[in-house]
Chains A and B, each alone.
Chain A
Amino acid sequence: MDCTEVQRLLHAYLDAELDMADTLEVEQHLQECKDCLQSYNNYQEIRTAIKTSSLYFQAPEKLRHNIRSSVLKANRNAFLSHVTSWRGLSVAAVLLFAILLSLWGITRLWPTSSGNNVLAQEVLASHVRSLMANHLVDVPSSDQHTVKPWFNGKLDFSPPVVDLKAQGFPLVGGRLDYLDNQPVAALVYQRRKHIINLFIWPSTQNMGGVTDTNTPQGYHLMHWTKSGLTYWAASDLNLNELQQFVRLIQAST
């Protein structure tokens, strides 16, 4: 990669939006080229300054209060009196209409209660619980040769355990979990501060490709099967990086 190409990709690199191959090439170039490295450092300096300069405007308490009470009172139709003070009756009428509208079709929101969605809910609940309950791992180790044998005798299958430290997803450990009416392996990986739970159990199903599910809670779930095992990855990591993680796992299992 030459300077022009690196300058073109530099911002995607700064934002962790590049794929693995380009990331490595940019890194390689930055080690060798003083000018590009300087330019990278300058942009980092600006990014840090923006993040640390208290440029974030917090909502005023008054606004918070107004909106909260408007929403709370919506049910009692008291929204009317609230909105008239600042937007006039037309908005009140619109809102009344909105409330009427909401009487109809709102039943199709995620999650619905069928098949994979129930399982997705289970996986999500398990992921969230693992973060809340101070029980993230049973075997804390970044060594795949420690984690894999730990499952021996605890499960009737041997989950593939790979370390992706070099690719930026270090293994944190493993845990026994219970999903889909059976004990399953949960492998825990980390990306910066984000935790990824990878659940694995045997499956007779075979599906092509990877499905991903967004949840209203802001988590991403990705699901696929390979060689008789079913995989679910759950994380609050952004979708791009989680997809990258899934590709890495798929490539090495």
Chain B
Amino acid sequence: MQERNQSVRFEQLILPHLDAAYNLARWLTHNDQDAQDVVQEAYLRAFRFFHGFRGGDSRAWLLTIVRNTCYSWLQQHQADELTVPFQEELHDVGTETLDPEVLHLHSSDQQRLREALETLPVEFREVIILRELEELSYKEISGIAHVPMGTVMSRLARGRKWLQRYLTAHMNEEE
């Protein structure tokens, strides 16, 4: 009966995080069908490794597997996605200056924001998704992305700065 209990526990602890799994995979692979494939595979792996789950946050546990599955998938199918250089010097703005310009986003900027996030290199995109959409702590993100907490912080900082530049640049284009 142990496998029966196992399956019930899996259903209670892991299945409810399907949206989180899909959202992460969707943002990392850029499209629906690939995200679905990745999530199916990640759930299989999760089921396989579930006996090793020692408690703790089941969502962070699942997202670690989803993220690993995504990266394996990207390596096989979109290897160049993993080597996109991070171009800090977008639109000739220096990196160390403050940005005193006031940023006012409107609902019409949603599409811009989505675009900006899609363009961000994957290792910056993932920390922003995990922090802003999943509201995970630096410690949890550091576990999922296998990087030190200081790196989580600096990626968030550089990622947000970059988004801000992107949005400011495009607002100016329209005016």
- Interface contact A42-B99, CB-CB below 8 Å: yes
Q: Is A68 part of the binding interface, using a Cβ–Cβ cutoff of 8 Å?
A: yes
- Interface contact A38-B102, CB-CB below 8 Å: yes
In the complex, how many angstroms separate the beta carbon of B64 from the nearest chain A beta carbon? 14
Contact count band on B = 35 or more
Of all chain A residues, the one with the shortest Cβ separation from B141 is A15
Q: Which residues of A contact B140 (CB under 8 A)?
A: 238
In the complex, how many angstroms separate the beta carbon of A127 from the nearest chain B beta carbon? 16
Q: Is B117 part of the binding interface, using a Cβ–Cβ cutoff of 8 Å?
A: yes
Q: Which residues of A contact B156 (CB under 8 A)?
A: 11, 15
Q: Which of A39, A87, A97 contacts B41 (CB 8 A)?
A: A87
Q: Which residues of B contact A110 (CB under 8 A)?
A: 54-55
Within 8 A of A (CB), among B66-93: none
- Interface contact A75-B4, CB-CB below 8 Å: yes
Q: Which of B2, B100, B137 contacts A103 (CB 8 A)?
A: B2
- Interface contact B128-A109, CB-CB below 8 Å: no
Within 8 A of B (CB), among A236-252: 238-240
- Interface contact B102-A11, CB-CB below 8 Å: no
Q: Which residues of B contact A104 (CB under 8 A)?
A: 51
Q: Which residues of B contact A53 (CB under 8 A)?
A: 107, 110, 113-114
Given A39-B99, A39-B100, answer yes or no on A238-B19 (Cβ-Cβ < 8 Å).
no
- Interface contact A216-B139, CB-CB below 8 Å: no
Q: Which of B3, B47, B56, B110 contacts A54 (CB 8 A)?
A: B110
Within 8 A of A (CB), among B16-69: 18-19, 21-23, 26-27, 32, 35-37, 39-41, 43-44, 47-48, 50-51, 53-59
Q: Which residues of A contact B50 (CB under 8 A)?
A: 102, 106
Alpha-carbon separation in the docked complex, A209 to B131 (Å): 30
Given A58-B19, A67-B15, answer yes or no on A46-B47 (Cβ-Cβ < 8 Å).
no
Q: Is B103 part of the binding interface, using a Cβ–Cβ cutoff of 8 Å?
A: yes
In the complex, how many angstroms separate the beta carbon of A6 from the nearest chain B beta carbon? 10
Q: Is A59 part of the binding interface, using a Cβ–Cβ cutoff of 8 Å?
A: yes
Given A50-B128, A71-B11, A109-B54, answer yes or no on A60-B103 (Cβ-Cβ < 8 Å).
no
Q: Is B122 part of the binding interface, using a Cβ–Cβ cutoff of 8 Å?
A: no
- Interface contact A12-B22, CB-CB below 8 Å: no
Given A67-B18, A109-B54, A110-B54, answer yes or no on A49-B113 (Cβ-Cβ < 8 Å).
yes
Q: Which of B51, B105, B157 contacts A45 (CB 8 A)?
A: B105
Q: Is A166 part of the binding interface, using a Cβ–Cβ cutoff of 8 Å?
A: no
Within 8 A of B (CB), among A36-72: 36, 38-39, 41-43, 45-47, 49-51, 53-60, 62-64, 66-68, 70-72
Within 8 A of B (CB), among A162-198: none
- Interface contact B47-A74, CB-CB below 8 Å: yes
Given A71-B47, A94-B44, A94-B48, answer yes or no on A64-B18 (Cβ-Cβ < 8 Å).
yes
Q: Which residues of A contact B103 (CB under 8 A)?
A: 41-42, 45-46
Give 1 or 0 for each of A62-90: 1 = CB within 8 Å of chain B CB: 11101110111011000000010011000
- Interface contact B164-A46, CB-CB below 8 Å: yes
Q: Is A118 part of the binding interface, using a Cβ–Cβ cutoff of 8 Å?
A: no
Alpha-carbon separation in the docked complex, A14 to B47 (Å): 36
Pairs across A and B, CB under 8 Å, 6 listed: A53-B114, A57-B19, A72-B11, A86-B37, A109-B53, A111-B55
New contact pairs (5) apart from A216-B58, A239-B139, CB-CB < 8 Å: A3-B98, A17-B138, A35-B98, A53-B107, A63-B36
